[in-house]
Amino acid sequence: MQTSAAQIEQPRSSQPALPIPPQSAPPQEPEITAPDLGGIQAASRNFYTQIHFARTALKDPTLLSPDRKHLYSNVGYGLLGQIIEGITGQPYGDYCGTTIMAPAGATSAQIGGPMWATGGFGGWTITASDYARFVMYWYAADRPWVKTPQNYPLDRDSGMGLSVRNFYYDGRHMFYHSGLWQNNKQSRQIGALFLASTTGTVFVANWQGNLPPEAYNDLRQSITAVLH
């Protein structure tokens, strides 16, 4: 198993706000319908391509129910990737690389590697140090969605909001996200975790190799106890 990690303390400084408005003032965007989700970066006809994933989800009536509840799924990431392509007219990776990764200094980030075709729901590759830069930039302590996450899309039961989980530990606001691909092929056994505190300290680790899901919680709880 190959593992790399980065723990960096960030100076407190003002950062430009990510252009995501509070939930009370949703952006006025053009309606994107299923036929408009064009194949700008469609790869092989495989379910685990971003476009096929999104199209399949839109055709599943069980996903279009008016009933709402929290259920973790990568479907939203696949749909978001296609919506970004439909609105911008650019490949998902190119647009996000320019507008999200580059401002954070995450120059190694790209849609690439063995899972590249998954795009928005698993296609990114990035070094641990650049992952830390990404987290420090977009989840800095003075970001409004970090200071007042309740003003943004947030599931209060799970703590999930803006793709990260929010929680409090020892009087501190903490947030984290983790992910894994478990596969029989070693090249597709990938995992990552970031954990950040509003004190400005970030811990990031990524690795190649399968880990049991409970190991993620053990790692997160261990780092939470010492992150200041």
Residue 212 lies in a domain: yes
Residue 22 lies in a domain: no
Residues 118, 47 contacting (CB under 8 angstroms): no
Residue 61 has pLDDT above 90, yes or no: no
pLDDT bracket for residue 65 (50, 70, 90) = confident
Residue 23 lies in a domain: no
Residues 197, 227 contacting (CB under 8 angstroms): yes
The domain of 51 spans 2-15+29-226
Residue 197 lies in a domain: yes
Residue 21 lies in a domain: no
| Interatomic CA distance for residues 145 and 153, integer angstroms | 9
In this prediction, residues 60-74 reach a mean pLDDT of: 72
Helices (H), the chain: 50-58, 75-88, 92-96, 102-104, 128-138, 144-147, 213-226
Tokens (6 digits) for 58: 């839109």
| DSSP 3-state of 56 | helix
Tokens (6 digits) for 172: 């501190």
Domains of the chain: total: 1
CATH code (residue 126): 3.40.710.10
Residue 20 lies in a domain: no
Strand order of the β-sheet with 160-161 is: 2-9, 201-208, 190-197, 172-181, 164-169, 160-161, 154-155
- What pTM, to 2 d.p., does this model score? 0.71
Residue 70 lies in a domain: yes
| Interatomic CA distance for residues 7 and 202, integer angstroms | 6
In this prediction, residues 136-160 reach a mean pLDDT of: 84
pLDDT tens digits, one per residue of 74-101: 788 888 899 999 999 999 999 999 999 9
More confident residue, 38 or 195: 195
pLDDT bracket for residue 189 (50, 70, 90) = confident
Tokens (6 digits) for 57: 């989800």
Residue 24 lies in a domain: no
Beta strands in the chain (DSSP E): 2-9, 110-111, 124-125, 154-155, 160-161, 164-169, 172-181, 190-197, 201-208
More confident residue, 218 or 171: 218
Looking at residue 70, its pLDDT comes to: 66
Residue where the block lists tokens 């279009």: 64
